[in-house]
Structure formats: structure tokens, C-alpha cells
Amino acid sequence: MKSKKIVSLITTAALAFGIISGCSSSKDGSSGSDGKQVIKIATQSPLSGGSATLGEAIKLGAQMAISDQKKAFAKKGFDLQLVPYDDQADPKKGVSNAQQIGSDKSILGIIGHLNSGVTIPASEIYEKNQLAMISPAATATDVTDRGLKVVNRICARDDFQGPAGAEFAVNTLKAKKIFIIQDKTAYGSGLAEAFRDAAKKLGADIVGYEGITVGEKDFNGVVGQAASKKPDLIYFGGVYAEGGLIIKQARDKGLDIPIMGGDALDSSSTVQIAGDSVKNVYLSSVAGDVTKVEAGKKFADAYKAKFNKNVESYSSYGYDATGILLKAIMSAIDKNDGKLPTREAVSQAVRTIKDYQGIINKVGFDDKGDNKFAKVFIFKFDKAEYPAVQQKAISK
């Protein structure tokens, strides 16, 4: 009996010890290796899970911006660092990470999240900590409509992207009968609904509005239903993992009509999954084609050189969002006589940015935190190659 007790005690102790030794990393890091004061920028995006490619792009974009400006900050006596957090696209994890971020006083701002569903609860925590957040990708209207002071985004809202896509589909592509598929996530549903309402207003006939399950591979049921309705366009609100397969299965069913999607299809993975079927696929993106502008080309080359990866749609937005945050921090430092600014000062400085020239487009925040200059770009895949060809840029 006794020995059993001791065994159980030892096991528990060992486990506890394992845990404790595992996090012997002390968060104590107010001063850097060479005595400089540390400023940390956190990213929160899914680094694992179904939208990891997009989340990774945000992180790498931020990393790029930070290494670009490390020197400028070093001159002022600050050591600039990146702390990437993985929110796993899970609201609970996002909030828990947000609490940890809030507790690390050297973090002055957050780049993220990708998913609106995570952004909304996590931003409540940022608000409490007066931590500036700039999202490169959260498109749901509720993100900024709650009127939080610290929440900003540089991408277009769903009620801009959806209608912009609808406008293009109905007026440019002349689609009369549209079949809509969405993935039953906050992102996919929000976008698809906005698209549907706008397309209806423009006079298109919505012949079907169906949901699919994220993570599945066989969408033949829904695609078959679409085929039987004989639409002139299929719209998909969702992410590339399912989007790529829907494109492929639609083409197998002989549906050679245009298929359109949102910014989450704007990824190399779409092409990888759909293969040749990706031809004649359109997508609306809140991030433009970097290779269209000189600065963008440079960025893409530098990105490729640094990470050995091609740029994804959100790479440049991650870069820009970080750039804005760093600019705001810099101006807050200057205002504070070269000393470390408060979080509050930083979030105020972010909101006052009215004219920042990003890689592709300008950024200026309105009083809700939305980007006044946000644009929606329409792309088309002409061949099985990423990135797609930009067709049109729509501004408000």
C-alpha cells in the first residue's frame, strides 16, 4: 500500500517536474542581450491546421518587416523582436494567447489574426490591455463594428469584398444564374452571404446556396447538385483546402463555367490541389498582386531569398501591417523623447495613421479602424500557376 503511494507520488512529481522544467524559459526579457531595451511584436495566426499556409504567410511577412527595420530601432537603442503565436484558428487558444501577450509588457502590438472568429474574442483582451492590433486578413464586419479602440485592419471588409466580387460576376462576367457554396465557417458564411445579397440586388438569380463540411474531400453531392442547376457561375466562400477540391470536382462534372471565390483561395495551395482545373477560376482578394508594382517585385524576390518560399497573398499584407505598427511605434518613441512608449500611445499612434504607402496600396484608418484605402482585387487563373493574373482593382 505504502509503496504504491510512493510510486504515485513519484510519478506525479516527475510529471510536474517535466512541466516545470519545460518552461524554464523565463519570460523575463526586459533587456536584450546587449543591454538594449526590447520591443516585441507578436503575430497571432494559425501556424497549424487547415489554413496554415495563410497564417504562415502573415508570420513571415511580419518577420521580413522586422528584420528590415531592426537596424533603425537599434539606432534608437531598442532591440526589435518577433514573437509568433499559433492561434490554431481556435478562439479559445487565441484568447489564451492574448492573455499571455497582454502580460508580456515588452510586446507593443499584434499582427493578426487571420480568422475573424478568433479576432473578435481575442481583441476584447487587447482592448483591456490597450494593445494595438492590426489584422491583415480578418474581414468580418463585426471585427471593427464593435468600435474597439485598438482594433484595426488593412484589408477590405466582407461587405465590401463580397459585393465587389458580385459586381464583377454579374456585370463583367455576365453571370445570370449563380450557385453559391460556402464552408459553414465564420469567414466563408460571412463572405458568401455578402456576395449573395449583392448579387441578388444586381439582378442575378441565386439557383442554390449550400454548405459543406470543412475537412472533407468528397463534395460531389453538392457539386452534382450545382451541375444539375446549370448555373453560369459558381461562387465559393471558404478556404483553399476545400475550394481546390470543389474546383476539381466541378471540372470533372463537366462544369467549365467560371468559378469564383474569396481571398482565402488566393494561395499557391489552391493551384496545387486543383491542378489544371484551376483555369477559369476567379477570385476576389483583399491583397493585390505584388508583382504588378516595382516595390512588390523587389519584395517578392527578397521574400524568396530569405525564406525560400514564394509570396502568398497575405505575405505583403503581413509585411505592411507590421510596417504600419512599427511606424506608429517609432512616432510614439519620438513623442516620448526617445523612451519606450506606453501601449496606449502606440495604439493611438496606429489609429492616427492616415496615409501609409504599403507595397501595393495605401493605408489610412478611419475612426472604426477600417482602411479607407482598402481595395478589392479581382484575379483570374489562366493557367495552373500561382499567382493568378490581376483583372481589376476596385476601390470604394
Partner 1 sequence: MRKLVDLFSKNKKAQLLLFIVYVAVSSLSLILAQQSVVAFLLLLFSILLLYFLKLSTKAKWIIGLVIVAVLIPFSASQGQAYESYMDVATLVGIYCAMALGLNIVVGFAGLLDLGFIAFFAVGAYTYGIFASAQASKFLHFGHFPLSGESFWIFILIGGIVAAIFGILLGIPVLRVKGDYLAIVTLGFGEIIRIIFNNLDKPVNITNGSMGIASIAPPKIFGIVIANASQFYYVALAIFLVVVYIVTRLEHSKIGRAWKAIRDNEIAGQAMGIPLVKTKLIAFAIGASFSGMMGVVFAAKQTYIDATSFTLLESTTILVMVLLGGMGSVPGVILGAAVVTILNLQVLTEVSNWLNQLNTNGVISIPDALSPAKMQRFIFGLLLILFALYRPKGLIPAKNQKYDVNKLKKSTTKSVFVEPQVSNDKKASGGSEI
Partner 2 sequence: MLAHIIQTLPQVIVDGLTLGVVYAVVAIGYTMVYGILELINFAHGEIFMSGAFIGTTVLLILSSVGFLSSVPAILAFIIIIVIASIATGFLGMGIERVAYRPLRNAPKLITLITAIGVSFLLQDIVRFIAELKTGNYIVSAPSLFNEKIHLKTSSILPQFGDALFKSSFLVVLIVAIIMLIVLDFFVNRTKWGMAMRAVAQDRETASLMSINVNKVISVTFFVGSALGGATGVLFMVQYGSIDPYIGFILGIKAFTAAVLGGIGNIRGAMVGGLLIGLLEMFAAANLSTITHGAFGAEYKDIFAFAILIAVLIFKPEGLFGKAVVEKV
Residue ranges binding partner 1 (CB under 8 A): 4-5, 8-9, 11-12, 15-16, 19-20, 22-29, 47-48, 56, 63, 81-86, 88-93, 95-97, 99-100, 102-105, 117, 120-121, 124, 128-129, 140, 142, 146, 184-186, 188-190, 211
CB of 34 to partner 2, least distance (A): 34
- Residue 77's binding partner, choosing from partner 2, partner 1, none, with beta-carbon cut-off 5 to 8 A by kind? none
**By CB under 8 A, is residue 184 in contact with partner 2?**
yes
CB of 112 to partner 2, least distance (A): 20
**By CB under 8 A, is residue 60 in contact with partner 2?**
no
**By CB under 8 A, is residue 119 in contact with partner 2?**
no
By C-beta, is 130 or 220 nearer to partner 2?
A: 220
Tell me the HSE value of 308 on the side-chain side, using a 13 A CA sphere: 0
**By CB under 8 A, is residue 248 in contact with partner 2?**
yes
**Which position among 12, 213, 310, 352 is part of the footprint of partner 2 (CB under 8 A)?**
213
CA Rg, the chain, in Å? Answer: 23
Exposed/middle/buried for 141, CB within 10 Å: 0-12, 13-18, 19+?
Answer: middle
**By CB under 8 A, is residue 227 in contact with partner 2?**
yes
Nearest-5° Cα angle at 349, 348 to 352: 90
CB 346 within 8 A of CB 329: yes
- The one-letter amino acid code at 393 reads A
**By CB under 8 A, is residue 309 in contact with partner 2?**
yes
- The one-letter amino acid code at 134 reads I
d(CA 128, CA 263) in angstroms, rounded, equals: 30
Strand order in the sheet with 78-86: 78-86, 37-45, 107-112, 132-135, 151-153
CB of 146 to partner 1, least distance (A): 6
In 3D space, the residue among 292, 288, 299, 306 whose CA is nearest the CA of residue 362 turns out to be 288
Stretch that binds partner 2, among 82-90, 221-229, 258-266, 376-384 (CB under 8 A): 221-229
- Residue 27's binding partner, choosing from partner 1, partner 2, none, with beta-carbon cut-off 5 to 8 A by kind? partner 1
CB of 391 to partner 1, least distance (A): 29
**By CB under 8 A, is residue 91 in contact with partner 2?**
no
CB of 219 to partner 2, least distance (A): 8
- Residue 153's binding partner, choosing from partner 1, partner 2, none, with beta-carbon cut-off 5 to 8 A by kind? none
CB of 158 to partner 2, least distance (A): 19
**Which position among 76, 105, 200, 253 is part of the footprint of partner 2 (CB under 8 A)?**
253
d(CA 68, CA 47) in angstroms, rounded, equals: 22
- Residue 216's binding partner, choosing from partner 1, partner 2, none, with beta-carbon cut-off 5 to 8 A by kind? partner 2
d(CA 137, CA 267) in angstroms, rounded, equals: 13
CB of 264 to partner 1, least distance (A): 14
Strand duo 177-182 + 205-211: pairing: parallel
- The one-letter amino acid code at 257 reads I
By C-beta, is 11 or 172 nearer to partner 1?
A: 11
d(CA 72, CA 39) in angstroms, rounded, equals: 13
Residues 344-383 that bind partner 2 (CB under 8 A): none
Using CB under 8 A as the binding criterion, the count of chain residues that bind partner 2 stands at 34
- Residue 9's binding partner, choosing from partner 1, partner 2, none, with beta-carbon cut-off 5 to 8 A by kind? partner 1
Site residues, partner 2 (CB under 8 A): 50, 52-53, 184, 208-213, 215-222, 224-225, 227-228, 241, 244-245, 248, 252-254, 269, 272-273, 275, 309
